[in-house]
Chains A and B, each alone.
Chain A
């Protein structure tokens, strides 16, 4: 469904050029939940930006269902870690933005938004502004907004990285339950090994910059997975493998 073929991308601001992706190829099938893990600054986010159509690679091809990506589109929803919700819009307005710009009738906008608000447990916060919400609530709204337009692909860039541990656990459960009911492809950038194991069908481990695929690890653990069960022996094998892959990918990088 998503296919990157020999994609290379160099950031060049006129002063300095940084090679973010080098000859990177990967494929994601329909309905798959794939995590992208790699050392910090290796170009994980860049992959999402390329698939989302925010930036174009200098060489290589990016296709969705065989069609080349030429810019952002409603078939690909995004959730960021920061600057995700528009601060000048309420919870309802943020979630309704997709239907609104896609010219849905006003009643439908409100109905869709309110359905999602109920689903993410934020009833009573319809008219709150993002800065009145906790970080966890904000990310729930971001999730709901991305789901509200029903995109085939969901691109998530470390969406739970700044949440406290407990909230992050809840959010992962929410995400999995929302994903399981859909047939969406989720591409999930993370640097958290446990998170990757808990969520993914497959983890793509990248090398240090410029990013290439170092190894793909299929996580064939039964679903539903839970936080408790992810401490099992089966998960431990994956954890060990991913950890050693990541550590050797980031030689010379002190950061864990």
Chain B
């Protein structure tokens, strides 16, 4: 709590500045659209996009799309985190696992997620399973890597201090390895929010009949740029809000993290 005054003040200021920047951006957008240089079909003005949004909201499709997207994301994010933590604990613990399983995972994580979409559809069809699989894949790697690092990269001084104070092996885990690793897992999970949404978009663009990503692509096919923009802004906003929420939740659950990597 101490010293939070200036930070809070600064945060307030940054909020004002941030909003101003966005306002300028919208005005610029409006200006470009109103100038009439470009076809309104290509760059619809903000008002047209807002109108499209109201339409989609009224017809219920916006909420339905959002629901299916969030459902897929939630499932993939959960699976990816669980799997990532399990694999990270294994490869973080055992050097042999790091050299074998770790090597395979390191190779696999270089695959562009979007290329997995067709493979997942071949194996699992165009249902939800294939989509969740792709999102799991996108979420898995940052969580795995960070968990492994959290376990393997504990500063030796922390371990030594605890041992000198009389900590047993189990106490060492409880007081040193676990909290240290938790910090890294949370970092990994936060990165995974971004990679997960990337995977979500990739998997909804082809072989989907609902979802925000589907809506964006479908609107492209119908040349409805306004609806396309609604879809893109929706997904962007959702990813942004989830990231912010994440930071808040973590700050509460992991109070000592206030000034650490989660800032910004």
CA distance A222 to B73 in the complex (A): 72
**With contact pairs A82-B157, A83-B155, A86-B176 given, residues A76 and B164 touching in the complex (Cβ less than 8 Å):** yes
Residues of A contacting B260 in the complex (Cβ-Cβ under 8 angstroms): 87, 131
Nearest A residue to B170, CB-CB: A101
Please tell me which one of the listed residues A83, A88, A125 contacts residue B256 in the complex, with CB atoms under 8 A apart. Answer: A88
**Given that A86-B176, A87-B256, A129-B256 are known contacts, is A97 also in contact with B162, CB under 8 Å in the complex?**
yes
C-beta contact mask, A60-104 vs B, less than 8 Å → 1, else 0?
000000000001111011101011101111100000011001100
Q: Which of B2, B3, B158, B258 contacts A83 (CB 8 A)?
A: B158
A72-B259 CB under 8 A given contacts A86-B179, A132-B2: no
Q: Tell whether B175 is near chain A: CB-to-CB under 8 Å.
A: yes
Measured in the bound complex, the distance between the Cα atoms of B255 and A128 in whole Å is: 10
Q: Is B259 in contact with A131, judged by CB distance below 8 angstroms?
A: yes
B171 to A101, Cβ gap below 8 A?
Answer: yes
Q: Tell me how far the C-beta of B260 lies from the nearest C-beta in chain A, rounded to whole angstroms.
A: 7
Within 8 A of A (CB), among B141-186: 155-158, 160-168, 171, 175-176, 179-180, 183
Any B CB within 8 A of the CB of A149: yes
- CB < 8 Å neighbour of B165 from A49, A80, A145: A145
Within 8 Å of chain B (Cβ to Cβ): is A143?
no
Total number of B residues with any Cβ neighbor in A under 8 Å: 27
Residues of chain A within 8 A of B167, CB atoms compared: 97, 101
Please name all residues of chain A whose beta carbon is closer than 8 Å to the beta carbon of B255 when the two chains form the complex.
129
A131 touches B165 (CB 8 A): no
Check B171–A80 contact: CB distance below 8 A.
no
Chain A residue nearest to B3 (CB atoms) is: A132
Q: Are A80 and B161 in contact (CB under 8 A)?
A: yes
Closest Cβ of chain A: how far from B215's Cβ, in Å? Answer: 43
Whether the pair A74, B158 counts as a contact (CB closer than 8 A) is no
Contacts of A132 on B, CB cut-off 8 Å?
Answer: 2-3, 259
B160's nearest neighbour on chain A, judged by CB, is A54
Give chain B residues whose Cβ lies under 8 Å from the Cβ of A82.
Answer: 157
Residues of the A chain whose Cβ atoms lie less than 8 Å from the Cβ of B183? 88
In the assembled complex, A52 has its CB within 8 A of some CB on chain B? yes
| Closest beta carbon of chain B to A80's beta carbon, Å | 5
The residues of A that contact B259 with a CB separation of less than 8 Å are 131-132
B58 to chain A, nearest CB (A): 49
For B179, give its contact among A73, A88, A90 (CB under 8 Å): A88
**Which one, B2, B155, B164, contacts A74 given CB within 8 A?**
B164
CB-nearest residue of chain A relative to B168?
Answer: A101
Contacts of B157 in A (CB 8 A): 80, 82-84
Which A residues are in CB contact (< 8 Å) with B256? 87-90, 129, 131
Known: A83-B157, A84-B157. A72 touches B2 (CB 8 A): no
- CB atoms of B160 and A74 under 8 A apart: no
A73 and B168 alpha carbons, distance in the complex (Å): 11
Cross-chain contact A84 with B162 (CB below 8 angstroms): no
**Bound-complex Cα distance A189 to B258 (A):** 33
> 8 tightest CB-CB pairs across the interface, nearest first?
A83-B157, A72-B163, A98-B165, A88-B179, A83-B155, A74-B166, A101-B167, A129-B256
List 13 contacting pairs A-B, 8 Å CB cutoff, sorted by A.
Answer: A74-B165, A74-B166, A78-B160, A80-B161, A84-B161, A89-B256, A97-B175, A101-B167, A101-B168, A101-B175, A129-B258, A131-B260, A151-B164
Interface residues of B (CB under 8 A from A): 2-3, 155-158, 160-168, 171, 175-176, 179-180, 183, 254-256, 258-260
Name A's B-contacting residues (CB within 8 A): 49, 52, 54, 71-74, 76-78, 80, 82-84, 86-90, 97-98, 101-102, 125, 128-129, 131-132, 145, 149, 151
15 further A-B contacts with Cβ under 8 Å, apart from A97-B162, A129-B256, A149-B165, are A71-B163, A72-B163, A74-B164, A77-B164, A78-B161, A80-B160, A86-B161, A87-B260, A101-B162, A101-B167, A101-B175, A129-B255, A131-B256, A131-B259, A151-B164
